[in-house]
Amino acid sequence: MGHIVNSEKEYRLLQQRLDCNITGAPYAPAFISILKLLFTPAEAYIARQIPLRPTRLSLVANKLNIPAAKLYGKVLAMAERGLVFDFEHNGEIYIVLSPVVIGFFEFIFMRTRDNLPLKELAELFEEYMSQDDRFAQSIFEGSTQLGRTLIHEQALPADTYSEVLDWEKTTAIIASAKHIGLSLCTCRHKASHLGRCCDAPLETCITLGKSAVILVKKGMAAAISPDKALRIIEDCKQQGLMQIADNVQRDVGFICNCCSCCCEFIQAIKRFNLKNAVITSNWLATVNPKFCKSCGACIRACPVGALHSEENSAGAKPVCDETVCLGCGVCVTACKFNGITMSPRPQRVIVPETSYDKIILMAIERGKLSNLVFDDPSRLHHRALGRIIGVIEKSSPVKTLMAVKPIKSAFLTAIVSRIKKATGVNKN
């Protein structure tokens, strides 16, 4: 594309475009360096014209004044690197610009590659993610998150297991999935290029349903059976890993088997004190002083440091900080003396029903609903309406109302209904 004379500007504009996504991409020199390694200047120009939600390839081709077949070739080259997603629906090709998280960060490290400088990318992503909290804040601000905690089912009290809903059970989620894919753990693979990966296994990232179909087709995952998926999860539990799943009730898209040292979700909690980075389960760790031997196994096992030792009349015993505990049950698995159990939380955790509900909720909370709804940088009225709604949704009265759960729920229902009707998106 000969008209591109200022490549630096193209990368800055692409960064600004990616920052419009609900999980954000704030400016940093390290992130610009990442974009330069992943995109040519011409690809950066094309990528920033691609909407943040699935759009027909033909529409983007018309906007760019490029033949659809030629654009598709360029899109496929970017899709191979996980920078753009393409899929077919009702005989038409749809494309969408991948966010950074969950997006091209994961897609890059989901497999080994020879066509990308993975070590250099790992170093740059580490700098971008850990240098300060701006990137973490852009992902995890708000009360609705990408991931939620799955409790170790073996840690549940026997008399309460029947009360646990299927979307809370790893076994039920796996059993209901029509397609399952297995990839490398993104976080541990990245850590391996930094020379500090732990001993936990690498092939542990499980994708489900439509996500699995797409990743298997793209060569980013291998198709596996439900039995193999359950064996992998069980092995990970025995190694003290916790499970973080897609924060939805229906059609869960992923289950990660996470260690405390490499997982970027957990690191956001520990490094930046973002306690809400992962939604908790509906359970809390409870110490039973009668059986506790003060061995410290539960304290060492807790992925987020929610347990610590305190002196009392019975001596030094572990104590659970309920504001930090994710309710994963890893501590129960680690204890050999039945000294710790899981108790129901006083207030049940609210989990979005579908991915669409989750995305809309996240957009509302982060003041980015206008980016999602009016997402066409080439159309003047979309940009104008987006700016107007952006001012409204960021105003103090709206933020105050959105903090009230009943109002928030009613507002979400109305917004989702109207957007689906306007865009022709079915409920499922």
The tens digit of pLDDT for each residue in 89-129 reads: 899 999 999 999 999 999 999 999 988 999 999 999 999 99
Q: Supply the angle between the helices 118-130 and 186-193 in degrees, to the nearest 10.
A: 110
Residue 344: predicted pLDDT: 95
Q: Is the model's pLDDT at 2 over the cut of 50?
A: no
Task: Identify the band that residue 362 occupies on the pLDDT scale cut at 50, 70 and 90.
Answer: confident
Average pLDDT, the chain: 88
Portion of the chain with pLDDT greater than 90, in percent: 72
Residue 6: predicted pLDDT: 77
Q: Supply the angle between the helices 405-423 and 355-365 in degrees, to the nearest 10.
A: 120
Q: Is the model's pLDDT at 172 over the cut of 70?
A: yes
355 — alpha (psi -120 to 50), left (phi > 0) or beta?
A: alpha
Q: Is the model's pLDDT at 260 over the cut of 70?
A: yes
Residue 420: predicted pLDDT: 54
β-partners of residue 56 are 94
DSSP letter assigned to residue 161: G
3-state DSSP call for residue 417? helix
| Fold designation for 147-344 | Alpha-Beta Plaits (3.30.70)
Provide the residue ranges of all domains of the chain, joining segments of one domain with +: 147-344, 355-423
Strand ranges across the sheet with 55-56: 55-56, 92-97, 84-89
**Choice among 65-69, 299-303, 382-386 with the minimum mean pLDDT:** 382-386
Task: Identify the band that residue 428 occupies on the pLDDT scale cut at 50, 70 and 90.
Answer: very low
How far apart CA 356 and CA 359 sit, in angstroms, is 5
Residue 46: predicted pLDDT: 96
Whole-number Cα distances in Å, 104 to 34, 82, 133, 259, 345: 11, 5, 20, 21, 35
How far apart CA 211 and CA 254 sit, in angstroms, is 8
The helices-and-strands tally (H runs, E runs) of the chain is 20, 13
- Taking only the tens place, the pLDDT of each residue in 381-415 is 444 444 445 544 554 555 555 554 544 555 555 55
How far apart CA 49 and CA 268 sit, in angstroms, is 31
> Which pTM does this prediction carry?
0.87
| Cβ contact 69:93 at 8 Å | no
Both tokens of 353, joined, read 């029903």
How far apart CA 143 and CA 1 sit, in angstroms, is 42
Both tokens of 191, joined, read 């850590």
Whole-number Cα distances in Å, 157 to 284, 332, 344: 12, 11, 10
Residue 360: predicted pLDDT: 80
